[in-house]
Every structure is written in C-alpha cells, then in structure tokens.
C-alpha cells in the first residue's frame, strides 16, 4: 500500500512539475481522438500562418461515436505564454464568434465507430486581424462553458530577421551529446530594438515543450540586432533519431512493428520492445522529428481510415524509482501526461502502454522524466548523439510598453542538417 501511495504521489508531483501554464492543444474527453492542428493542405506542418498570406489553419478531430453532438467553436487571442490576452473579441476578430462546427462525416467500413470533424480558419464567418497566439475552444452547443478540447495555432508577422545555427561545439566540449543553438534577431523592419521587458523569444526542439527555451535578455547587442551565443538556455540534449511505425496497411506494415493481429472487435499493433542500445555508434535514418501522418493505403478520405490498439513496451531489469517513462511524440502534442505514461509490468520486466491511434505513420521516442523535473532526459533509455538530426522552431513575440497584447513578429524553422 505504501509503495502504491508513493508511486501515485510521485506521478502527481511529476505531472505538476511538467505542467504547462497556458492553453495547449488537447482533449478533455476520451471520446475525442486524433486532434490535429496544421496549415490546410500541408501534412505534419507547424500550425503557423502569416498575417499577410492566404494560408488557412485546419483543425480536425474524431468523436468516437456515430451520434455526433452539436458543437460550437470559440476563438480567443493569447499571450506569448498561451494565456488569455484579455482583449475584446472586436479587437482581434472580424465576424461572429461562437460558430457551429458544420463540417463532419461518418466513418465508413471501420472497426471503430467515429465521426470526423474539421474547422478551417479564417473562413466566411470569422477572420483573425492581429498577429499572436490563438486558442480555439470547442464545446457542446448546449454547454458552451464546458470545453471539450482546445486547439492552438499562431498568426505571424514578418518584422524580424531570424538568423540561427546549430553547433556541436558546446561548453561541454566538441562533438559530445549536445547541440548548441546560436540565435540572432535583427529588428530593422520593426524600426525599434525591443527591451528585455518587451521581448519573448521561444525556441523549441522538434515537437517538445518540456525543454523549450524562453529568452528575453541577449548575450550581446549589435546595432538593431540581439545575439544569443553559447547561451546555456539554448543548449539541448541532441537525443537520438526518432523510432517509427507505419500501420497504414494491415499486411504491408513497416518500421518497428512485430505483428498486426485482429482480436475481435479491433486490430492490435504490437510494437517491437524498446531497449537500451547495445552499440554506442550513431546510425542515421530518415524520420519526421516526432510528427505523424494519418493515412491508409489506397484510402483518400480521413473518415475511411480505421483505428488500431497500439501496444508499446520498453524492457528494463527493474522499475526505476527515480522517475517515470513516457512514449513521446506529436500524437500527444509533444507533452508528457497521463495519456502517454507507461506502467511497469513486473512479471514481464517491462514498461507498457496501450493506446488507440488512427492508422498511419508515427514517430515516437521513449523518454525518462526524473522525479521533480520539468525536462525529460534521453540518457537512461538511449544514447544521445551530437549528429542527431533535429528541428528547432523559433518564435519572436513583441509587446511594446503600454500595449495590451503580444504580437508574433517572426517565426522560423531550422534544422541542423
């Protein structure tokens, strides 16, 4: 009993320490799955559009029922840290809020019943007029204050020149297990260099949020340029290449899959067990840096694609008392929480997680979150290599003194290869 209580308290403490204060893309009801936010027509894209473009954001999700609810969506402007800006709707929207979700289709020829929904923004009813972060709250029309899910995206301006590079020469030596991001922000287009009270720059590695860097004070200043060079906040564990599975076809599957079997009433995907690498050498293979793509062989519509029960496992000699093990990836929006927490099976000597995923190709990693920490570490579960290919997303927010909201004045994605 004491051991169970200790595990429970440890779990709660770690979830709190890993919490994200602002809004995030997530569902609050297990009846909703496969929530995706992307640029319309671009698979696996970061949900960012430019204020001066015709690009649109698509929000899509499934309700695991053939009896759909009447849903509405509400759009809200957010701060750089994804908290409400407190602005009036008229300040950042043209049109009418609290719109009905009218685009939906029923699943066809699938073992799981579901209804597929989508919302595209901007549309004929509503348009965003300010840059910055936005959250879309989706709720039952009869209970608009009871939010079923939140979907986050950003609208960017082009008022900062972002220069960035990824180096393996760090404070811990050359070609170790780390990657150093150096960053330069040029503000000639903005016409003013922000003070540290007006600026927030955020750098994310791949799809992760737990190790994101938040910057406002540079190491150097040159003319209208702020420079972060060899800054410890921008030092990242390089990690290893993402593992991948593709079960878009029940017969011709690939990646780290042992087998796919049908156990009435659903298909089950057994993923090959994870384990600590026997060889220390780096091995490159192409991945999508944590992303996933829902698709099916010879299937063109999302509502014709089935779901499967996916079984993950990671081998270990004993249960580690100093932290928790997760299966991480964009399928859980890059966060670590109860939905992707693995449980220890003492009989099989492995951590396990069973999760229902829509058929397609997925990147994933096993990560370890030490007790009391916010940032997960790859060291206990794999070998970190400086050569690992990673993506870094950079967002630059500006709130002039006296203004009421943060503008997103620039964004950029870089890779180290």
Q: Which pLDDT score, from 0 to 100, does residue 1 have?
A: 44
Tell me the C-alpha to C-alpha distance, in Å, between residue 285 and each of 206, 242, 378, 395: 16, 9, 18, 28
SS3 category, 84? strand
Q: Which pLDDT score, from 0 to 100, does residue 12 have?
A: 44
Examine the pLDDT at 9 and tell me if it is beyond 90.
no
pLDDT, tens digit, 9 for 90 and up, residues 232-248: 999 999 999 999 999 99
Neighbour tally for 320: CB within 10 Å: 16
Exposed e or buried b for every residue in 233-264, given b needs 16+ CB within 10 A?
Answer: ebbbbbbbbbbbbbbbebeebeeebeebeeee
DSSP for 1-59 reads -HHHHHHHHHHHHHHHHT--SS--SEESSTTEEEEEEEETT-TT--SEEETTS---EEE
Residue 107 corresponds to which tokens in the numbers above? 């699943």
Domains of the chain in start order, with CATH, are 21-156 (2.60.40), 161-238+391-415 (2.60.40), 243-370 (2.60.40)
SS3 category, 331? helix
Distance, CA of 397 to CA of 163 (rounded, Å) = 16
Distance, CA of 308 to CA of 193 (rounded, Å) = 51
Q: Which pLDDT score, from 0 to 100, does residue 297 have?
A: 86
Q: Which residues contact 195 (CB under 8 A, 6 or more apart)?
A: 401
pTM, full prediction = 0.93
Distance, CA of 200 to CA of 408 (rounded, Å) = 9
Q: Which pLDDT score, from 0 to 100, does residue 255 have?
A: 97
Helix (H) or strand (E) holding 92: helix 89-92
- Of the CA atoms within 13 Å of residue 229, those in its CB half-sphere come to 8
Q: Is the N-terminal amide bond of 307 cis, ω within 30° of 0? A: no
Distance, CA of 193 to CA of 175 (rounded, Å) = 35
Neighbour tally for 29: CB within 10 Å: 13
pLDDT, tens digit, 9 for 90 and up, residues 126-182: 999 999 999 999 999 999 889 999 999 999 999 999 999 999 999 999 999 999 999
Q: Mean of the per-residue pLDDT values for the chain?
A: 93
Q: Which pLDDT score, from 0 to 100, does residue 20 have?
A: 59
- What sign does the CA torsion over 229, 230, 233, 236 have? positive
Q: How many helices (H) and strands (E) does the chain have?
A: 2, 33
Tell me if 295 sits within 8 A of 305, measured CB to CB. yes
Q: Which pLDDT score, from 0 to 100, does residue 10 have?
A: 47
Helix (H) or strand (E) holding 91: helix 89-92
pLDDT, tens digit, 9 for 90 and up, residues 278-296: 888 998 889 999 999 999 9
Phi, psi angle pair for 398, to nearest 5°: -135, 130
Residues 111-117 have a mean pLDDT of 97
Confidence at 3, pLDDT banded by 50, 70, 90: low
Examine the pLDDT at 352 and tell me if it is beyond 50.
yes
Instruction: List the one residue out of 7, 2, 18, 20 whose CA is nearest residue 372.
Output: 18
pLDDT, tens digit, 9 for 90 and up, residues 93-113: 999 888 999 999 999 999 999
Q: Which residues contact 316 (CB under 8 A, 6 or more apart)?
A: 349, 350, 351
Q: Which pLDDT score, from 0 to 100, does residue 268 have?
A: 99
């Amino acid at each position: 009993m004491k051991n169970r209580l200790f595990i429970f308290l440890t779990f709660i403490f770690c979830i709190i320490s890993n919490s994200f204060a602002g809004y995030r893309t997530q569902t609050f009801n297990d009846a909703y799955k496969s929530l995706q936010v992307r640029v319309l027509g671009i698979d696996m894209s970061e949900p960012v559009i430019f204020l001066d473009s015709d690009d649109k954001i698509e929000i899509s999700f499934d309700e695991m029922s053939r009896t759909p609810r009447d849903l509405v969506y509400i759009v809200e402007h957010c701060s750089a840290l994804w908290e409400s800006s407190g602005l009036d709707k008229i300040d950042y929207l043209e049109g009418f809020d609290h719109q009905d979700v009218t685009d939906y289709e029923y699943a066809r020829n699938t073992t799981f019943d579901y209804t597929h929904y989508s919302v595209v923004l901007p549309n004929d009813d509503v348009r965003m007029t300010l840059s910055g972060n936005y959250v879309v709250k989706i709720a039952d029309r009869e209970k608009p204050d009871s939010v079923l899910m939140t979907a986050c995206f950003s609208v960017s301006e082009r008022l900062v020149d972002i220069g960035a590079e990824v180096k393996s020469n760090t404070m811990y030596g050359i070609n170790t297990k780390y990657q150093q991001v150096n960053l330069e922000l040029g503000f000639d287009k903005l016409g003013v260099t922000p003070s540290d009270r007006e600026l927030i720059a955020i750098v994310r590695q791949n799809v992760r949020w737990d190790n994101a860097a938040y910057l406002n004070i540079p190491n150097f200043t040159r003319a209208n340029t702020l420079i972060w060079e060899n800054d410890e906040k921008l030092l990242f564990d390089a990690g290893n290449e993402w593992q991948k599975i593709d079960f878009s076809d029940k017969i011709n599957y690939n990646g780290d899959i042992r087998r796919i079997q049908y156990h009435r009433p659903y298909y089950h995907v057994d993923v090959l067990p994870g384990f600590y690498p026997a060889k220390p050498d780096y091995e490159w293979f192409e991945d999508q840096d944590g992303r996933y793509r829902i698709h099916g062989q010879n299937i063109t519509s999302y509502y014709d694609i089935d779901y499967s029960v996916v079984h993950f496992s990671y081998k270990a000699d004993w249960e580690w008392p100093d932290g928790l093990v997760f299966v991480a990836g964009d399928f859980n929006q890059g966060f670590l929480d109860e939905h992707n927490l693995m449980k220890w099976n003492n009989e099989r000597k492995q951590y396990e997680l069973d999760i229902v995923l829509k058929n397609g190709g997925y990147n994933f990693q096993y990560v370890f979150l030490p007790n009391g920490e916010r940032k997960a570490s790859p060291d206990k579960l794999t070998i970190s290599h400086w050569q690992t290919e990673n993506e870094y997303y950079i967002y630059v927010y500006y709130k002039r003194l006296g203004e009421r909201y943060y503008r997103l004045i620039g964004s950029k994605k870089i890779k180290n290869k």
